[in-house]
Amino acid sequence: MIAAKAMDMNTSWYTYILIYSSTQLILFSTILFFIKKNNIKANRILALLLFCIGFGLMLDALDETFFILENLPVLVSFSMVIGTIIPFILYLYTKAYLSNSYLLSKRYLFHLVPFAIQFFLWMTNVTSLSYEEKRQYIDQRHVALEWYPAQFLVQLVILLAFYSFLIGKDINKYHKQAKEEYSYSNRNILNWFYGLIAIIVAAPFVSITQTLANNKKDVDILFVIFNTMLLLVVIIIIIRPEIYRGIALMAPVELKEKRKSSSSLPESKKKQIFDELTDYIDKEDAYLNSKITIRKLSEALNTNTTYLSQAINDIANQSFFDFVNSYRIEHAKKMLVSDQFSKYTIEAIGTESGFVSKSAFYNSFKKFNGLSPLQYKNKILD
C-alpha cells in the first residue's frame, strides 16, 4: 500500500496522521474479528481486509520515518507485498457478504500467485540490500521511481481492475438470482455495501496518484482525500449495522450461474403448479407479506423451488420478484382510487400492498404502468 510521500529528510506531518489512521483500522479490525453475534463469516474476512490495509499503511508510514530501517530492517517495503493480497481479500469479502453458503476451494490458491511473485521480488531485491542501500532506497523511491516500486504500482492497478470486474459480476449475479428467490429488494442496504467497496477500491488509486505527484500542494490535497476515505470506511461500518450483519442472513443466494435444467417439467405439470400458485395467492393474499419468498410458497404448495420457479418463468414469463410485485401493484391501484383509502399517503398504500420501502413501490409501479402512483391516481380520478 502506498502512503504519504516524504518531501524532505524530515518526517512529514501527514506521515504521523497516516500512522494514527492505520492504528485505528488495526484496532477496529481486531474488535470486528471478535464479534461473535451470528458468527458471520463475512465479518472475519472484513476484519482481515481492514487489518491488512491498516498494517500495510502502518509499515509504509514507518518506512518514511526510518523506524523500520532502524528497528526491523527485514520489513523494509514489505507493505508492497501486503498490497498485492488486499484486492483478493476484498473479492472474498464480497462473496461471503452476499452468500452465506460460500466456501473456499483449492482453485482459489491461484489467486495467491501475485502475492507469491511480489514476495519473491521483495526477497530478492530489497531484503538483500545493505543498511546504506536500504536507506538510499527509501530516500529515493518517491523521487526516482525505480523498477521495483514501479512494477508494484502496475501490478496493483491490474489487480484492482481485475477484481473490480469479478466483484461487479458477482453483484450482478446476486441481483439476478435474488429476483428468482425473493419478492423484495435489499438495494437500500446494498447501496451502503457498494459505497464501502467503491471507497476501498478507489483509495489505492488516490494513493498511487499521490505517489506520482511532484507538487507539494497536490500531495497534501490527495493525502487529505485519502485519509478521508479511510475514515469513511470505518464510519460506514459503524453507522450501518447491515454491513456487519451481512446481507446473506437476510437474502442469501448462491453466486453461481444457474444451468438450464435437463429435466424440464411437462407443460401440464407446469400449468398445474402455476394454477395452484395463483389460487393460493388469491385466497391467502400472500403477496401482502412483504417478506414472502419462493421457498415459503413452494413449501405451502408442497413442491420445490426449482419447479415453482420454472412454472413462473415459463408461463408468466416473469421472475418471481416481478410476478409477486405485479399482484402488489394491482392491489395498490385499487387502493389509490378507492374512497376508503383516500386519506392514506402514497407510502402507506405501498406498505399496505406489501412493498418494503417507498422507493421499491415507486420503482415497481412505474415499471408496470409507466406512471408514478400519484400520476396514476390523478389520471384515473380526473
369 found inside a domain: yes
State how far Cα 229 lies from the chain centre.
16
How many residues does the structure list for the chain?
Answer: 382
- Given 202, 224, 250, the domain boundary residue is 250
Which triple of cell numbers denotes residue 309?
420457479
49 found inside a domain: yes
Mean pLDDT score, 111-116: 92
- Given 250, 285, 301, the domain boundary residue is 250
Mean pLDDT score, 54-64: 81
- Given 250, 277, 311, the domain boundary residue is 250
Q: With CA atoms as reference, report the closest residue to 371 among 307, 382, 94.
A: 382
Higher pLDDT, 19 or 159: 159
Question: For residues 283 and 216, what is the distance between their CA atoms, to the nearest angstrom?
Answer: 71
For cell 471507497, what's the residue?
Answer: 199
Both 193 and 302 in a single domain? no
Q: Quote the DSSP letter at residue 8.
A: S
20 found inside a domain: yes
- Asked if the model's pLDDT at residue 283 lies above 50, the reply is yes
Q: What is the pLDDT of residue 5?
A: 40
CATH of residue 361 = 1.10.10.60
Both 284 and 213 in a single domain? no
- Asked if the model's pLDDT at residue 9 lies above 90, the reply is no
Question: For residues 306 and 180, what is the distance between their CA atoms, to the nearest angstrom?
Answer: 10
- Asked if the model's pLDDT at residue 116 lies above 90, the reply is yes
Question: For residues 43 and 270, what is the distance between their CA atoms, to the nearest angstrom?
Answer: 41
Higher pLDDT, 275 or 6: 275
Higher pLDDT, 127 or 346: 346
DSSP notation for 303-362 = S-HHHHHHHIIIII-S-HHHHHHHHHHHHHHHHHT-GGGTTS-HHHHHHHTT-SSHHHHH
Start-end of H helices in the chain = 13-33, 41-64, 67-71, 78-83, 86-98, 113-125, 131-140, 147-178, 187-212, 216-239, 242-245, 247-250, 267-284, 294-300, 305-311, 320-336, 346-352, 358-369, 373-381
**How far separated are the first and last CA of the chain, in Å rounded?**
62
Q: What is the torsional sign of CA 48, 50, 54, 57?
A: positive
Q: What is the pLDDT of residue 68?
A: 74
Mean pLDDT score, 248-261: 49
Both 289 and 206 in a single domain? no
CB–CB of 49/85 below 8 Å?
no
Higher pLDDT, 117 or 244: 117
Q: How far is CA 352 from CA 258, 289, 292, in A?
A: 34, 9, 14
- Asked if the model's pLDDT at residue 7 lies above 50, the reply is no
- Asked if the model's pLDDT at residue 214 lies above 70, the reply is no
CB–CB of 349/341 below 8 Å?
yes
Amino acid at 167: I
CB–CB of 335/344 below 8 Å?
yes
| 3-class state of residue 141 by DSSP | coil
CB–CB of 61/15 below 8 Å?
yes
Mean pLDDT score, 354-366: 86
Q: What is the pLDDT of residue 89?
A: 92
3 found inside a domain: no
Both 240 and 274 in a single domain? no
Both 183 and 138 in a single domain? yes
Higher pLDDT, 93 or 238: 93
Q: pLDDT, tens digit, for every residue of 220-247?
A: 566 667 667 777 777 776 666 655 555 4
Q: What is the pLDDT of residue 35?
A: 73
Domain housing 17: 13-250
* Confidence class for position 189, pLDDT limits 50, 70, 90: low
* Range in 43-57, 62-76, 345-359 with the lowest mean pLDDT: 62-76
The number of folded domains in the chain is 2
Both 277 and 240 in a single domain? no
Both 287 and 246 in a single domain? no
Long-range Cβ pairs for the range 309-318 (8 Å, 24+): 309/180, 310/261, 310/264, 310/265, 310/270, 311/265, 311/270, 311/271, 311/273, 311/274, 311/277, 312/274, 312/277, 313/180, 314/270, 315/270, 315/271, 315/274, 316/274
Question: For residues 168 and 161, what is the distance between their CA atoms, to the nearest angstrom?
Answer: 11
Both 61 and 178 in a single domain? yes
For cell 546504506, what's the residue?
Answer: 132
Q: What is the pLDDT of residue 4?
A: 37
Higher pLDDT, 315 or 14: 315
CB–CB of 248/96 below 8 Å?
yes
The overall average pLDDT reported for the chain is 78
Mean pLDDT score, 246-263: 49
Q: What is the pLDDT of residue 241?
A: 61
Q: What is the pLDDT of residue 151?
A: 84
Backbone φ and ψ for 307, nearest 5 degrees, come out as -65, -45
255 found inside a domain: no
Both 62 and 90 in a single domain? yes
Residue 29: half-sphere exposure toward Cβ, Cα within 13 Å: 20
2 found inside a domain: no
Q: What is the pLDDT of residue 263?
A: 52
Higher pLDDT, 176 or 346: 346
Mean pLDDT score, 339-355: 90
Q: What is the pLDDT of residue 221?
A: 64
- Asked if the model's pLDDT at residue 162 lies above 90, the reply is yes
1 found inside a domain: no
Both 200 and 288 in a single domain? no
Q: What is the pLDDT of residue 37?
A: 62
State how far Cα 51 lies from the chain centre.
17
- Asked if the model's pLDDT at residue 208 lies above 80, the reply is no
262 found inside a domain: no
Both 228 and 293 in a single domain? no
Both 334 and 304 in a single domain? yes
Q: What is the pLDDT of residue 343?
A: 87
Claim: this prediction has a pTM higher than 0.85 = no
Question: For residues 73 and 353, what is the distance between their CA atoms, to the nearest angstrom?
Answer: 65
Q: pLDDT, tens digit, for every residue of 131-159?
A: 777 777 766 655 555 777 788 888 988 99
